[in-house]
Amino acid sequence: MTLTIDTPTSNDPYQWWPSGTVDVLPSGPTLLLYYTLAHPNAAPSNGMMGSQMTINGPQETWRYPSQQSYMSDLQSIGFTYGDTLTLTARLYDSSFNLVASSTTITGGNIPAPIYPPPMVIPDVAAAVTVRLKRAPQIQALCDDRVSIVLKSSWNMPKYAIIISSAGGAGPDQETDRHFARLDIRFFGPGDDYNVRSRNAMTLWRTAHPVLVPPVALRISTAFHAAHCIVHNIRQDLEPMRITEPGTDWPIVLVPYVVSYMASPI
């Protein structure tokens, strides 16, 4: 004796009207549907749907009495969107002995969490570092000593530039534009404090036009590097002559504000 349950065309149990076939009927047949219901973050529940199936000849097809009764039974067992429902048909004879079981159908799978695709976050400090490193006038003084960290291998004091993130204003959500403050420290070589201080100021005077080109030159302030589109850079405060903490090296500290796109390239 073979009992089948039709595979639904929709994965949504609310769109089903369970049906199937049986090749041979016992005397006094009773055909019922049994369910397993899985809720997110809860143990599955099992039971029997509330209505007996209607069997029609001569091909011995069966179906829920009506789609309305199926919907009512579905709601009464507590099915909601996001649950997983599994149905199995079971056929009994007049003595209520189990004579056949169908395969199962499952639908309403618990949706998987939706995550954004992997993406690179723009690194504005790295972008400015690349901008300075590529400038020939900076290379002539600093060689490769332009970084976001002060490296012990540089054997300081020498000409060097350190770019540090220092917060900034909140983003403009409408234009997808962010604003970052960068504290840029300029170092200079020399045998005494005054010479180092003067050379650090010379390095800043060399680097500043790279960061903020004079308007008269009509050079675009926009560039892209390190997956970041930079719109412009502006000087936030006048240069400050201070001493690098933990050393006797005079430096020039200049805060800049960088406008850049939040979306990476």
Q: Are residues 254 and 151 in the same domain?
A: yes
Instruction: Taking residues 147-157, report their average pLDDT.
Output: 94
Query: Residue 69 is part of a domain; what is its CATH number?
Result: 2.60.40
Note the pLDDT tens digit of each residue in 170-184.
777 667 788 999 999
Over 90: is that where the pLDDT of 19 sits?
yes
Over 70: is that where the pLDDT of 17 sits?
yes
Q: Are residues 70 and 135 in the same domain?
A: no
Residue 112: what pLDDT? 62
Note the pLDDT tens digit of each residue in 197-225.
999 999 999 999 999 999 888 888 899 99
Residue 228 lies in a domain: yes
8 Å CB contact between 141 and 197: no
Query: Residue 202 is part of a domain; what is its CATH number?
Result: 3.30.2000
Residue 5: what pLDDT? 93
Among 209, 203, 126, CA closest to 160 = 203
Residue 112 lies in a domain: no
Which range of residues forms the domain containing residue 82? 3-107
Q: Are residues 97 and 20 in the same domain?
A: yes
Residue 56: what pLDDT? 84
Over 80: is that where the pLDDT of 59 sits?
no
Note the pLDDT tens digit of each residue in 92-131.
999 999 999 999 999 987 566 677 777 778 899 999 999 9
Q: Which of 81, 107, 133 is the last residue of a domain?
A: 107
When comparing pLDDT for 255 and 119, which is higher? 255
Q: Are residues 139 and 73 in the same domain?
A: no
pTM over 0.85: no
Over 90: is that where the pLDDT of 60 sits?
no
Q: Are residues 134 and 100 in the same domain?
A: no
- Number of domains the chain is built from: 2
Q: Are residues 79 and 149 in the same domain?
A: no
- Per-residue confidence at 4, pLDDT binned at 50, 70, 90? very high
